[in-house]
Chains A and B, each alone.
Chain A
């Protein structure tokens, strides 16, 4: 028997959605559901092995080929970039990148350079570069919504799902940056060397989306 196909899942919600999808395809994911503190888990009947990792690490492991496949959000892909195949839009984990400011703030007025707070500096930089707009970008690690409230920034570029957090803090979306959903990515060599197995899995996934 060949060594199992290793698939890295982004811990948290995407992990649950992906396990749900794998079960829908008929794989026995008991080991993943009862994982305890283990990080590498077998899916016996599918000749699969599930690896649980943080989003950025999913990309790193797939790029280096130590995992053949990965499930990761488009947000992470846009921020990290890298060399891998982005094969399938899995449809779950839907949300968007958006530019938000304090309610009623006229973001595009005036000559002053605007300051943007974000967890995704590359996404923010590219967005404003495309507009030909110089901005100052400040990386924030935690709740980005704080930055305009504390008057550190004029606006934020962040992930927006329902918009509730924004609303409760007196912020509003003024422009969408990009839609986001979970993607199935593959190492460029694995897809070639294990074509038949991976292709079979992808077909199965696409039929069940």
Chain B
């Protein structure tokens, strides 16, 4: 049998030194932002019952889940997402909590990705969930949190909004099977105009099919709303579009010109449990979105508690990748002082080191039994000061 004791599974990696600092910096920056806005952090288990992710509307295909069984033979999964477990908690332990609830998290999710594609199976996501408000101000609060988070990385960014309700309303007007609806959705998601046109042509020409054909092309700035307006077949859908326009205008003002706010009416992703507003965030230089979120007013009711919610998650690995690519490595925190103990003075040296730490220095104890090695170590680590503790007194050196 082959031994795999020296490597990590595909899609996972060890993080060292700078990589680790970047990761933790991003996480801290994000959690600080979330907490400064009143979100309380929560932690859900890494293992959940498969059933949590296998509701009526199964958003996570089982082939993409890491599965195992508990001691009773019940099927467990490694959490592929944080929003569903949080929905479970809200529908159970937080059922009687006062609304709105503002929760945030920073935890790993696991999904099996195709091999040899350079993707991670283990992704850290930091995000917020705002539960119990359907007001526009809730959408704007989440958008402005996302903008603040994107701004914090100091790179060119853009935030994109859409409303999946427009697509859902449109297809509901067609008398077609769920299968065909799903095909239409796939083609809109992939902006596959040739296939979308062919498919819709078979359903006849009417205002609904005309609008659906145009949906994936309707992305960009303010001009999108003017183009979309005349395509919307009824007042109900026009109202959704108007609401989105209001959000777009406000979001632009919130962003204040630091990044771009754009709109895409063709944001209709499969794993979305979203019902209304959808948001995506992009950083220049990264080939995938780093923020994904939206309004999911029906998800928690699948756990038995009917309450609206909106939120988003940031892919921390993605952000780290861009930061590393742009070469903005943060400086490693450097040790200020190395304390060397002559034989018999170990306790005195440890105490002296502690005293220096209390003065605010970063202090290491030298783990050598000769001064030469300790000096060489200090030289290699660029430690400016070596303090030698012997029986008489202390001696300082550069």
Contact = CB atoms under 8 A, between A and B. Distances in A.
A39 interface: no
A57 to B, nearest CB: 12
Contacts of A60: 117
Between A183, A189, A190, A195, the greatest number of chain B beta carbons within 10 A of the residue's beta carbon is seen for: A189
Contact of A84 (B190, B264, B289): B190
B318 to A, nearest CB: 11
B304 interface: no
Interface residues of A, number: 22
A191 interface: yes
A188 B193 contact: no
B28 interface: no
B264 A87 contact: no
A193 interface: yes
Nearest to B260: A193
Interface of A: 60, 63-66, 83-89, 183, 186-193, 195
A86 B192 contact: yes
Contact of B160 (A85, A186, A190, A192): A192
Given A64-B118, A192-B158, A195-B219, A187 B190 contact: no
Interface of B: 117-118, 158, 160, 190-195, 219-220, 262, 264, 282, 284, 286-289
A72 to B, nearest CB: 13
A53 to B, nearest CB: 15
A63 B287 contact: yes
A167 to B, nearest CB: 30
A64 B191 contact: no
B193 A193 contact: no
A4 to B, nearest CB: 15
A192 B259 CA distance: 13
Between B193, B262, B284, B289, the greatest number of chain A beta carbons within 10 A of the residue's beta carbon is seen for: B193
Nearest to A89: B194
Contact of B288 (A65, A86, A88, A186): A65
Nearest to B194: A89
B282 A192 contact: yes
Contacts of A193: 158, 282, 284
A192 B287 CA distance: 11
A191 B158 contact: no
Contacts of B195: 86
A187 B262 CA distance: 17
Given A86-B194, A189-B289, 17 more contacts: A64-B118, A64-B287, A66-B287, A83-B288, A86-B192, A86-B195, A87-B191, A87-B192, A87-B193, A89-B193, A89-B194, A187-B287, A188-B288, A189-B286, A192-B264, A193-B158, A195-B220
Contacts of A186: 191
A187 B287 CA distance: 7
